[in-house]
Every structure is written in structure tokens, then in C-alpha cells.
A and B are shown apart, each in its own frame.
Chain A
Amino acid sequence: MIISFLKSREAILLGALIALILLVESRFSGFAMPRNLAAVFNDTSILIILALGQTLVILTRCIDLSLASNLALTGMVTAMLNAAMPGLPIVALLAVAVALGLIMGAFNGLLVWKLNIPPIVVTLGTLTIYRGIIFLVSGGSWVNSHEMSAAYKALPRAQMLGLPVLSWIAIVVIAGFAIGVNRTALGRAFYAVGGNPGAAVYTGIDVGRTRFSAFVIAGGLAGLCGYLWVSRYAVAYTDVAGGFELDIVAACVIGGISIAGGSGTVLGAVLGALFLGVIKNALPVAGISPFWQMAISGAAIIIAVAFNARKPPSRIILKHAEARS
């Protein structure tokens, strides 16, 4: 069990992540302190949650480019609701955020399922549509910190057992995914549909419905993140999280989620997001220019894909075994 983990791409990625942290620590003492690492984790929480949703979609051989727009729209709606009705409980706002996210995810999923439109086309379209709706509902104006209620802004920062609630939410989502993906029939179906859609059909799995489910879950999580993002940064405007959809895909790719579908793990997606999170947090403190940051993130993606494209080592071992027998 331990040996097979050491050979996995997750182990390689974990090693790379630790090496990266140590490298930063050698330049900038104190980075590897638990308190700072916890801060980095907290800062990466939203990326982790979104990357997990995207993982499901990519596992089924699809992609969702509209997640950041979905996040920005739900964030704007919750902020405007809060500004208009400060008395509305946060639980109700959370429910609205998740529900809106689910609806947007379902819209993507339906177009992919029922109309058979390639997912990249569907979500490229909804990426702009959802972003455009923000402008329609807000008229282009911002919702600023002073318009938001204290309770609205407090939730993600509130401390619980030494960690902010934002971190705890990410931990709960990770745990939910670890169980849901590995231990339920639907989780298995994501892998089957992406691994071999033709075979999945013959196994009695509804390929379209499974893809729809992936889009809905990813959309719901993006809705949740909409509230978390806007309340954390205490500002909502049309361009919130602009371009973040590519960070989400990058986290998945670095985490070894195969863009061809059917292969990847929850742990991989989390590590991929953390890898990006460390780069984004460490390089500025080390005084490296943002342009180098982009180049380094880009290089990490290509290196990760090159690693994943290698043939698995077990094949060689098997050949030896076959040769012997």
C-alpha cells in the first residue's frame, strides 16, 4: 500500500510541493512555519473547492470554463441581497448562493446532455453569459464593504478550533469528495464515463446524466465559493475572479487529473491547487515579479502534464513478470 503510494503521481506531486516549500523557506525564513502554511491553505481554500468541482467535470471528459463567472454572479447576487436586506440570515444567503450555482451548473449540464453540444463550447458561451448577467443585475456598479453587513463579512474569517471557517469549509468539502468519489456508485460512474463512454453505456450507466451531475455539483460549489469570495474580499463587482477559470483548470492539470477523462484523484486535485497556492503566496514575498509567477505556474502545468503522459511504471514490471512466466 505504502509502496504503491510512493510510486503514484500524487506522491511525486507531494514531493514537489514539499521541495517548493523548502526552497521558499531557504530564501525566506518562516515560510514553512505551521501558522504561515495554515494561512496559505486558507488562502487556497476557494481554489481547492473549485478545483474539486472541476475534477468531476474533467473526469467525465468534459470541462467547465464558466465556474469563475458563476462564482462572480452568485457573489454579486448575495452581496446585493445583503445590501438591500441586511436582516436576511446568512444561512438564507448561503442557500441562495448554492441554489443559484446549481442552476447555472444544471444549465451547462443540460446543454451538454440534451443538445450534445461540446462542453468547451457550452461553457465558453455561459462564461460570457453569466458574466454579462452580473452587469445586468448590478448595472455595472460595485457593492463595497461598507454596504455589507458585519455578519455577511464575518463568516469566512470566524475562527473555529484554530482555523478560519473558510479553511474548515474546504476541509469538509475535501472529506466529502474523498468519500463521495471513492465510495459511491456515482463517484465510480464519473471514472467509467470518462474512461470509456462506450463501455459505460453497456454497463448500464447513463453517460449524459452522469455528466449532468458533474456540472451540477461543480456549479453548486462555484455558487458556494461566490459567497465566500465576495465576503472574504468584501467587495463585489463585474470582474470578480476574472480569469480564475484558468487557474482552476491549471490546478486540476497539475494535480494529475487527465484532461482526456477517467483518471485523477481527489488528493491530486487538492495538491495541484496547493501547489499553485504556494507559488502565488511565496513568490511575491520572495520579491519575484508577477510575470515570473505566471511563467513559473505555466511551466508547472507543462511539467505536470509531461509527467502524467509517461507510461505507468507497472507496465514494465508486468512485462518482466510475463517474460518470466
Chain B
Amino acid sequence: MTDNNTTPQPVLRLNGITKTFPGVRALSEVDLALYPGEVTALIGENGAGKSTLVKILTGIHQPDAGQIIVDETPTTLADASAATRAGITAIHQETVLFDDLSVAENIYLGHAPRGRFGLLDWARMEEDAREILKRIGAAINPRLPLRDLGIASKHLVAIARALSVQARVVVMDEPTAALSQAEIEELYTLIDRLKAEGKAILFISHKFDEVFRIAERYTVFRDGQMVDAGMISDVTEDQLVEKMVGRAMSAIFPVRHATPGETVLEVRDYSHPTEFADISFDLRRGEILGFYGLVGAGRSEIMQSLFGVTKPSHGEARLNGRALSIRTPADAIAEGIVYVPEDRGKQGAITAMPIFQNVTLPSLSRTSNKGFIRMAQEFDLARHYTERLDLRASALDQTVGNLSGGNQQKVVIAKWLATRPEVIILDEPTKGIDVGSKAAVHDFMAELAAEGLCVIMVSSEIPEILGMSDRVIVMREGRIVSQHPRDGLSPEILVREAAGYGATAQKESAA
């Protein structure tokens, strides 16, 4: 695809970009160069720093250190409009456009053509929109409200928008995640066209077949650092996988001597109309069962269904041999199944409430006498579980909003343990929390399993999956790809199966 032997100057170059968030170093002195007419693939696990990089490129975050050089000129991207002026535009996984505005408005919002008296020139806007859409080969009526379009067409609108601002750098953050195979092919054609127009493209994807299909260059991030960069023609898929995951296990995981007992939870033929199909697995006493897959593989959706948040269309679950009928989360909690959701902000803690009230919220029947809450019992219960989790807080009546992310996560876990569950489902239990809190959560999970609790851990972090699980289920596109005992499992197998690269050859079943 590269037809130029003389390498041109990069349009955009990042030098030594560092970005630290409270407790986490998201990016540490990373470099990146994007060349006109070329696609650079950015590869890395979840948490490698890719999204932080996108946010820096689009002016949402400011780097703590390092240089952004556009056309050999050091530039600061103070906000989103500065990034647009610099010719950088991004197309996100879930398109950030306006459903109730027309296609033309979406393309021209913020830089619409003006007519007399500074009023919007609607006729020209539509005309220009039609022109741009034609240029990218999209048969979309610019007058339609965006709501009426499918995801693939919305992507096309986003790309048209990118072209309308005369972008020279187009960032595509997992653009294929929600597309069908035919739509992906169309996207490839479009990317080829953008390349022909001399745009520099940063293509973020987990899927190696895509990367090899359209990228000229690659850059690999791992744990916020750039570990390698080069030409795609010089590497193999295996080498890329290795670069992506091939780290010494930096985190130390607790040593466990697991002897899983009898089967506690049996799930059979669980299906959902749109999210997952034919899910069957067993969970044994004292076991930690890991669910690995790419984001969107349907793992959280299964767990939410088991917990009564959504309804499965088909299938059954048994707890200790007894068929479960769970319609609401309250039913699940009563049965001894609890779910610690991934999104702490939206689904975890109630930040305006004091710590102790958060902890006792699902267990109020145990701290009440004749319908009235006993504060002393409430404090005892909250103290017991927060101490077990080594929560650092000045007082239990402090509001949760004042705690750090790691401590908030501990409050949420304490809340669920206080219900004395039999099965605890942890969805990305250590996402976005600092290293110290991570280790505490891991130790604690090991302790729970040793006490006979059944733990399901949904995680996208390979070291965590390998370090903590007794057994691992790999999922892709709503289905179980394989089940493995931990021994003999390698990061490479996980990455391949989850991404659908050579998965069929690797199928194994657990004992």
C-alpha cells in the first residue's frame, strides 16, 4: 500500500509525553509519529494508555510533560477546538454525535457556513454535506436526523465531519467494534481513500487481522510506555502479541492452594436476544473463575443477567442443585449471589452517603429491629467489613465521595461481603485503581476463595486473569470460546482466542 520510498516528514509527532492521574501514571514518556498517507496502528492491552493518548491528541487532557509537534511546530492543544484547528480529529468507538440533529448539522456543527448577517447558510451546508458524503462514497441523505442511521452510517458521518474540518490527522478509536463484516470492508475502502488524500491515520484496535490488513506502521504500548514501533511488514502477528503482553509479571499475586469443592452454581444454555448465546459453565466452592475477553464480548451482560438486572431469553441457573428464579437484584441478593459492577461511578457507591450507610444498604434487614435501623449494629457491621478490607478513612460517617478510587472500591466490596453471599461476581475489580489497592483487592479475593466463597472475576487484564484464576473462560462476541485450567495457560493463548486469531486450533476444555 505504501507507494513512496522516501519517507516523508511526520504530520504529527509526540515526544516524551507523560500524563499522571492521582495514583496512576497513565503515560510515561511515550513517543509517537504519524505520517501523511499512512495508517499507524496503536496496539496495547486495556489500561496500556491508549485512551489517555487519544484524549491528549484531541485536547481533552493536557500532558504533564513532553511535546506535541504539528508540522515541525511545537503546539499546545489546550482544548478540543485547538485540536480541531491543528487538524486533528477523532472517530470514537461509540460515535459522539448528536442524534436529534440532521446529518448535515452533525457534519458542520461548530464550523457551519455562514451567510448574510452571520446567520447559518442552510442551503450551502446541505450542499457541502452532500458533496463530502459523495466523496466518501456514502449514500446518506444529509437532511435525515442522525437517529435514523445505523452505526456504520454514523461512522461515515463522523468521517465526513473529519473531512469537513480539513483534518490531516484522523484518530480512529476501535472503529470496527460495533460493525458487521461487510461494514468493516466498507470502512477499509474508506480508509484507503483517506490515505490517498494524504491523511495520517492513527488506528486503535485489538484485532490483529485488521491491523495487518490496513496499517503500514505499528506502535505498541504497555503499561503506559511505548515498548516498540516499526513497520508492519517487518513483524508477524506472533511477534506483535508477544510485544503487547510479554512483560515480566510486574504485579505480585497472592499464592493460593486452591482445592475447589463441590459445584455450587451451574449455568446452562444461558442466552440473550442480542448480547450472548449458549452460555454454560459450573462454579465450584472456593474457586476463582476468570472470564477473559475483549471489551464488548458479553461478559458483563451475562453477569448482569445472573444478577437479575436483565432477563435472559433462555437457559437456567442452579444454585446448590436448586433451580433459581431471579427477577430482580433483590432476589439475587436474597439467594446469596452478588455482583460488584465495573462502573463504580454509575453503579457502585452512593457518593453523597456516609461510608457506613453505603456498606449496610443491602443488609439493612440485619441491622434493624422491628423495622427500625439500629445505628450501633449498623456501625458494627460496617466497621467489621471495612476493617477486613483495610479501608483507609478518617471516620465511617465520612461521605464516600471524599475517598480515593481504591478506597471507594473497597467500600463497594465491603457492602457486598456484608450480605454474606455464596457467589460473588467481581466485574473488572481493579480497573482504574492504584497498585497498592489492587494488591489489597487481590489478597482479599484469595482470602474469600479460601473461606469457601465462589468468585467469578470478569477481567480484561491478562496478568490479573492469569495471577488470580483457578480456571479461565474466554469469550468472544457473546459466546464462550474455550475453558482452560490455569496451568499451562499463556498470555498468547488468551489474546489469540479473545481476538479470534487462531482460536479454533486452540480449543480445549476444562476438567
Contacts and interface: CB of A to CB of B under 8 A. Distances in A.
A191 B350 contact: yes
Contact of A321 (B349, B350, B394): B394
B415 A185 contact: no
Interface in A180-228: 182-185, 188, 191-192, 195-196, 198-206
B399 A196 contact: no
Given A185-B368, A191-B353, A202 B373 contact: no
Nearest to A318: B402
B329 A204 contact: yes
A144 interface: no
A314 interface: yes
Interface in A43-94: none
Contact of B349 (A199, A206, A314): A199
Nearest to B307: A202
Contacts of A188: 357, 361, 364, 373
Nearest to B343: A198
A8 to B, nearest CB: 12
A298 to B, nearest CB: 27
Contacts of A310: none
Most buried by B among A185, A203, A312: A203
Contact of B328 (A206, A262, A314): A206
B371 to A, nearest CB: 6
Interface in A150-203: 179, 182-185, 188, 191-192, 195-196, 198-203
B341 interface: yes
A198 B351 CA distance: 12
A195 B373 contact: no
B353 A202 contact: no
B339 interface: yes
B348 interface: yes
B309 A203 contact: no
Contacts of B329: 201-204
A134 B112 CA distance: 53
Nearest to A325: B392
B145 interface: no
B372 A202 contact: no
A263 interface: yes
Interface residues of B, number: 35
A199 B347 CA distance: 4
Contact of A201 (B309, B352, B365): B309
Interface string B313-354: 000000000000000111011000001010100111111110
A185 B364 contact: yes
Contacts of A200: 350
A184 B349 contact: no
A315 B402 contact: yes
A196 B349 contact: yes
B372 A179 contact: yes
B362 interface: yes
B398 interface: yes
Given A196-B352, A204-B333, 15 more contacts: A4-B397, A184-B371, A185-B364, A188-B364, A188-B373, A195-B352, A195-B353, A199-B349, A199-B350, A200-B350, A203-B361, A205-B330, A312-B402, A318-B394, A318-B402
9 contacts: A183-B375, A188-B373, A202-B341, A203-B361, A204-B362, A258-B352, A262-B353, A314-B399, A322-B404
Interface of B: 307, 309, 328-330, 332-333, 339, 341, 343, 346-353, 357, 361-362, 364-365, 368, 371-373, 375, 394, 397-399, 402, 404, 415
Please name the 8 residue pairs, one residue from A and one from B, whose CB atoms are nearest each other, closest first.
Answer: A204-B330, A195-B350, A198-B346, A185-B364, A196-B350, A195-B352, A204-B329, A198-B347
Interface of A: 4, 179, 182-185, 188, 191-192, 195-196, 198-206, 258, 262-263, 312, 314-315, 318, 321-322
